[in-house]
Amino acid sequence: MSRVRALAAAALSLAGCGGAESVLDPAGRGAERIATLFWWMSGGAALIWLAMAALAVWAVRSGPERHGTRSAALLIVGGGVAFPTVVLAALLAWGLSSLPPLLAAPPPTSRVIRVTGEQWWWRVRYGEVELANELRLAVGEPVLVELESADVVHSLWIPALSGKVDAIPGRVTRLTLEPTRTGTFRGVCAEYCGASHALMELAVVVVPPDELERWLADQAAPARAPKGPLAERGAAQWVASGCGACHAVRGTGADGVIGPDLTHVGGRRMLAGWLENSQHEHRRWLARTSELKPGARMPSFGMLAPDELDALAAYLEGLE
């Protein structure tokens, strides 16, 4: 029975190794290299552990009289010095040799995406198209991510695609991403950067190349006009509340750069990096910003009347 339980526990813990943010379920070239290294190291460590356990059992079972001085010395020098030196040196050489391909720049014609870590969200730029907390990539196409920080040190980590790279104020660091299959993956900030560090998520959507081109063309278009009386009231409320001082909505004259560009905010995977992108959540976010993301620079707009919040949420959610 205990064996069944142990097997069930092992199966359950391995089930946690898959999914949208697993280094052991790679969906990109860099992550594949890292996973291969991990499996070889784990396999090697398991084999060595088994050999050591067998030796220990053998040592306990055989009497002391059977170990001659020469064979004991051979065991110590061979098994204790030569073997680990050779194995660890080989693993080190192999591990180091897999670094250059991980850090290699993509072909010069590759797309360049600029990602800026800010407290506590990711600004993502494809030329003039700007998004927040979302990265779209084409399967099989390597891209160069130029990583910057607007304030403190952040670290971009998309476990399923590649290793992590820090975003350092005043510097541009680079990361090559080459997705090998389509899907939605999760990126996080891997360097503690303040109160809402844990809410600094990034959705990474990998699609076929032609779909990415269509999506980019849609994103480059100016914002949709509000649909329906509630959204129209929301557009007026947006102006009255001065939202455009911090946010841009292309095509409306709002060109703030402090917060995320909201031109197509309603079409994004998530709101504020971790909330569902629905009218209800837009409303909750507007009214309770500092509760949902402690320390965020955006003030809460809980002082607005309920119908004003409803209208604003309807307008924003409609900006697809």
Kindly tell me which of 63 and 170 has the beta carbon lying closer to ligand CUA: 170
Interior angle at CA 297, CA 296 and CA 303, nearest 5? 90
Task: State which of residues 38, 83, 192, 217 lies at the interface with ligand CUA (CB under 6 A).
Answer: 192
How many binding residues for ligand CUA (CB under 6 A)? 9
Q: Closest separation between CB of residue 163 and ligand CUA, Å?
A: 16
User: Per CB under 6 A, does 83 bind ligand CUA?
Assistant: no
Q: Which stretch binds ligand CUA (CB under 6 A): 79-87, 193-201, 225-233, 267-275?
A: 193-201
Kindly tell me which of 147 and 231 has the beta carbon lying closer to ligand CUA: 147
| Residue span 170-189 as binding mask against ligand CUA, x where in contact by CB under 6 A, dash where not | -------------------x
Q: Which stretch binds ligand CUA (CB under 6 A): 46-54, 72-80, 192-200, 284-292?
A: 192-200
Name every residue whose Cβ is closer than 8 Å to that of residue 255 and which is 6 or more positions away in sequence: 244, 248
Question: How is 27-64 classified by DSSP, letter by letter?
Answer: -BHHHHHHHHHHHHHHHHHHHHHHHHHHHHHHHHHS-G
Q: Closest separation between CB of residue 159 and ligand CUA, Å?
A: 15
Q: Closest separation between CB of residue 87 and ligand CUA, Å?
A: 36
Kindly tell me which of 189 and 287 has the beta carbon lying closer to ligand CUA: 189
Alpha-carbon distance 158 to 152, whole Å? Answer: 19
User: Per CB under 6 A, does 247 bind ligand CUA?
Assistant: no
Contact 318, 224 (CB under 8 A): yes
Give the end-to-end CA distance of the chain in Å, rounded to a whole number.
Answer: 55
Q: Which token pair is 155? A: 């670290």
Region of residue 31 (phi > 0: left; psi between -120 and 50: alpha; otherwise: beta): alpha
Question: How is 112-164 classified by DSSP, letter by letter?
Answer: EEEEEEETTEEEEEETTEEEESEEEEETT--EEEEEEESSS-EEEE-TTT---
Q: Closest separation between CB of residue 165 and ligand CUA, Å?
A: 13
Task: State which of residues 131, 137, 145, 193 lies at the interface with ligand CUA (CB under 6 A).
Answer: 193
Q: Closest separation between CB of residue 219 and ligand CUA, Å?
A: 24
Interior angle at CA 262, CA 259 and CA 267, nearest 5? 135
Kindly tell me which of 178 and 201 has the beta carbon lying closer to ligand CUA: 201
Task: State which of residues 132, 200, 312, 316 lies at the interface with ligand CUA (CB under 6 A).
Answer: 200
Backbone angles phi, psi at 10, to 5 degrees: -65, -45
Contact 274, 294 (CB under 8 A): no
Task: State which of residues 178, 191, 281, 310 lies at the interface with ligand CUA (CB under 6 A).
Answer: 191
Which of positions 104-123 make contact with ligand CUA (CB under 6 A)? 117, 120
Give residue for tokens 């991510």: 145
Positions touching ligand CUA (CB under 6 A) are 117, 120, 154, 189, 191-193, 197, 200
